[in-house]
Amino acid sequence: MSKSEESLTVNNNVTAFKKIKLNDQQRRQMQHEFKIYMEKYFKRTLGKGVDHTKIIIWEDMLVVRGEGFLTEPEKFIVATDSGKDVVNAARMQVARQHSIDNLTYFEERLGAKAIHQVYVIEADKDFWMHVVIFDRVITE
């Protein structure tokens, strides 16, 4: 077998592996991996981790959910009438940057391409969520 044929075989095997559907144990393991990854990302990026992170992988979706992400100054600002909008807008920028920084990682780990995504920021409830819809079903 030539080098190019070996390379093609290896690449096809990798592609085939990435296209498998996760069983329940693999799904839970991947959710845990993503949770640790996201906690480290926010700690590194913002200097403050999220108090509670939940990752859900189901069918063709990835849901990243966080609570307890506001800094002490943001908690003070969000308590005012106009402050909520300011903090929501600022945190929406953080959510967009999170997607720019991490979407490729999620796609590569899941072997699927993101086709839709949405963010929800509720600063007054210290809650955020990022939902990604992929081009294929990921779970069994």
pLDDT for the residue 18: 59
Q: What pLDDT is attached to residue 14?
A: 41
Radius of gyration of the chain (CA): 18
Structural domain spans, the chain: 22-134
Contact 50, 65 (CB under 8 A): no
Q: CA 60, CA 137: separation in Å to the nearest integer?
A: 4
What pLDDT was estimated at residue 104? Answer: 93
CA–CA separation, 78 vs 80, rounded Å? 5
Span 10-50, pLDDT tens digits: 334 344 345 789 999 999 999 999 999 998 888 888 777 78
pTM, full prediction: 0.78
Point out the residues of the chain with pLDDT beneath 50: 1-17
In which region does residue 37 sit, left (phi positive, over 0), alpha (psi from -120 to 50) or beta (all else)? alpha
Query: What is the residue whose two structure tokens read 């997607």?
Result: 99
> Letter for the amino acid at 14?
V
